[in-house]
Amino acid sequence: MLQWIRDSLEKQKWLTYVVLGLLAVIFAAWGAYGIVNLDFSGASYAAKVDGKEISVQDAREQWQRQQGEWQQRFGGDIPPQEKTLLQDQLLESMARNLMMTNRAHDLGYRVSQQDLQRAIVNQPRFQIAGQYSPDAAKTALQQLGISLPAFETLLRTSLERGELEDSLVASDFVTPLELQRRNALENEQREVRYALLPADKFAGDARIDDAGVQAYYKAHEKEFMTTESAHVQYDELRLEQVAAQQTVSDADLRAAYEKNKSRYVEPERRRSQQILITPGKDDAAARQLAEKVLAEAKAGKDFAQLAKQYSQDPGSADKGGELGWTTRNDLEKPFADALFSMSPGEIRGPVKTRYGYHIIKLEEVGPGKTKTFEEARPELEADLKRNRAGDRFGEIQEQLQSKLQEPGASLDALAKEYGMQTGDLPVYLRGPGAGDLAGLPQIQDLVFGDGSLSAGQIGGPVLAGEDRLIILKVLDRKPSQLKPLPEVRDTIVAALRKQQGTDAAVKAADAAVTKLDSGAAYDEVIKSLGVTSEPAKYIGRGEASVPAQVLSAAFSAPKPATGKPVYRSIKLATGGAALVALTGIKTPAAGEDRKAEAALAQQAASSHGEEDVAAYIEQVRKSTDVKKNPAALN
């Protein structure tokens, strides 16, 4: 239940990630190119939704980030057909977001200033040591290149969209019959025996001739291409280096303490246990059960044992209802109001929230307090240094942007002037990169993308993450090329042997199924194959100890008749084959596991809700006038 309560406080958390993802797009484009290109070549919009425009700038910023990611996946330039499809998908996604924002607004969904402020202060990037910091927020937004009003607008529309979608999810329910069928299906177990037929065992002594090797080599040339690479030198400056160079006075620290004293107030915390009774379709019955459990708890029965027996909260029931330490802001209001008006040892309830009826026991109170200046001093000093470093970091970025335009710009000179660390990567690969520059799409785009750096040219500055500033130079390049046959011959021979062994194993497994279907004994057939079989056992759909393809075959096979197993042969993706025998099926009885059924009901309702949202979006899309301008991304 504690997790559910916390999720209710952050019910728009996924939307927050969307917002930060959109900001990261701006961040990536700004970092890679210094200044976003505002020359839109005459295109006035990227898409229109019922007459409302999505700007070319917003679309290009999103495409810029996605393009780098897709180039890494394709191992080079995106093929034209796929590029057209991906760009259309991006415009469609942006159009649907705007469409749902408009619909939420038309239906009267609004986000109060209080809710907006709460969402802002809960942004992880705006916090220091778990507490909101105006200076941290300012620094983050400056680095992302967006103003606070623009961020608030973006966040507000995302929250309004979320309110509409949450209402669709909350309106769904699962009927008892549907739940029973789902429970029977998902928790079904099947009795299975299987044997693996390894490819190397069935490959025999077959020889691989030169003609076969040549044919394989020609047919699989793409697999034997070297990765395009470049020799890259770079300078890097980290925010922590700049912060270490900053100095702050005692007066500055005391002024910051007085200005932000509220940050150093640690709120009262309370440790509690709870028992949750979820109502399902019968609210009256749920309340009646909650009253009964409350009476037992007040009569002196062990609260933890009652929680294990009755609580339907999957997060705390097995722990005796233990919720640990929480502040008022961690909890939903009715729960918080009750808990923070109780005395230690007191039991209260039933308290109604959207999740059901709670019986609450307060165990311990941790009083709030305010840190003294000396207690807060290390944190204050680190914050001030980091904030000043952030300003200086931005100044250096602007200065580097300018200096790179000057004739004769030198990595060594710039490294010395700004105290940057230097690096040399003789083999920087397209896709994975190398060394400290691995996994950075902005760098990949500079080195390998459209309009990539020519040999000897310095590029950047690139803002990688929030704390790294990079400039770099490409010394030379090595294009992708086909590896010589002698270099890959052993690999080809091994692949051909595996292929032959797999074909032979599949043939043997197919023959074994024919024998078994004709009445041959399973153990005798296994013995004739020269392999061993796993003993029969019941497995569920998520059984990790069974190969995935064996598991899939077991649960896709028809129900075996009494005394007559179902046999299947499988070609394994990893090579070789498997022989599978399905001998029995058992399904759970209704009410056998109340906690599992309650969790399944919640999961099913959530799944249905997501399907409802998707269906609703599709329906709204059909009645919405959407115009897309793919030329805006080219």
Instruction: Please tell me whether residue 334 adopts helix, strand or coil conformation.
Output: helix
Residue count (the chain) = 634
- Burial bucket for residue 405 (CB in 10 Å: 0-12, 13-18, 19+): exposed
> How far apart, in whole angstroms, are the C-alpha atoms of residue 294 and residue 453?
71
Name residues whose C-beta falls within 8 Å of residue 498's C-beta, 6 or more positions apart in sequence.
Answer: 199, 200, 203, 575
Q: Are 584 and 230 in contact, with CB atoms under 8 Å apart?
A: no
In sequence order, which ranges of 245-372 are alpha helices (DSSP H)? 250-259, 283-298, 303-310, 333-339
**DSSP class of residue 263?**
G
Phi, psi of 2 (to 5 degrees): -60, -40
**Which token pair is 132?**
């909101």
Name residues whose C-beta falls within 8 Å of residue 613's C-beta, 6 or more positions apart in sequence.
Answer: 165, 168, 169
Q: Quick one: pLDDT at residue 594? A: 57
**Which token pair is 247?**
């100095």
From the list 122, 121, 115, 124, the residue with the least C-alpha distance to 162 is: 115
Q: Quick one: pLDDT at residue 111? A: 78
Residue identified by tokens 């722990």 is 319
> How far apart, in whole angstroms, are the C-alpha atoms of residue 590 and residue 574?
39
Q: Are 65 and 25 in contact, with CB atoms under 8 Å apart?
A: yes
Residue identified by tokens 């062994």 is 501
Q: Report the 10 Å Cβ neighbour count for 576.
A: 24
pLDDT digits (tens, 9 = 90+) for 82-105: 888 999 999 999 999 899 888 888
**Which token pair is 169?**
């999810």
Q: Quick one: pLDDT at residue 3? A: 32
Q: Quick one: pLDDT at residue 10? A: 36
From the list 395, 381, 390, 401, the residue with the least C-alpha distance to 466 is: 390
First to last CA, the chain: 50
Name residues whose C-beta falls within 8 Å of residue 280's C-beta, 6 or more positions apart in sequence.
Answer: 286, 598, 601
What is the radius of gyration, based on Cα positions, of the chain? 32
Class of domain 2-173+609-633: mainly alpha
| Helix or strand (DSSP H, E) at 436 | none
Task: Output the DSSP codes for 448-503.
Answer: HSTTPPPTT-EEEEEEETTTEEEEEEEEEEE---BPPHHHHHHHHHHHHHHHHHHH
Q: Quick one: pLDDT at residue 18? A: 34
Question: Into which CATH architecture does domain 268-367 fall?
Answer: Roll (3.10)
> How far apart, in whole angstroms, are the C-alpha atoms of residue 204 and residue 484?
28
Instruction: Please tell me whether residue 189 adopts helix, strand or coil conformation.
Output: strand
Does the bond joining 350 to the residue before it have cis omega, within 30 degrees of 0? yes
From the list 196, 194, 203, the residue with the least C-alpha distance to 577 is: 196
**Between the CA of residue 148 and those of 22, 114, 134, 137, what are the distances in Å?**
14, 16, 11, 9
**Between the CA of residue 487 and those of 178, 227, 256, what are the distances in Å?**
59, 15, 65
**Which token pair is 36?**
């976003």
| Helix or strand (DSSP H, E) at 320 | none
Q: Quick one: pLDDT at residue 577? A: 96
Q: Quick one: pLDDT at residue 161? A: 84
Q: Are 344 and 365 in contact, with CB atoms under 8 Å apart?
A: yes
Q: Are 446 and 459 in contact, with CB atoms under 8 Å apart?
A: yes
In sequence order, which ranges of 359-449 are alpha helices (DSSP H)? 373-403, 411-418, 441-448
Low-confidence ranges of the chain (pLDDT < 50): 1-42
> Is the torsion defined by CA of 443, 447, 448, 450 positive or negative?
positive
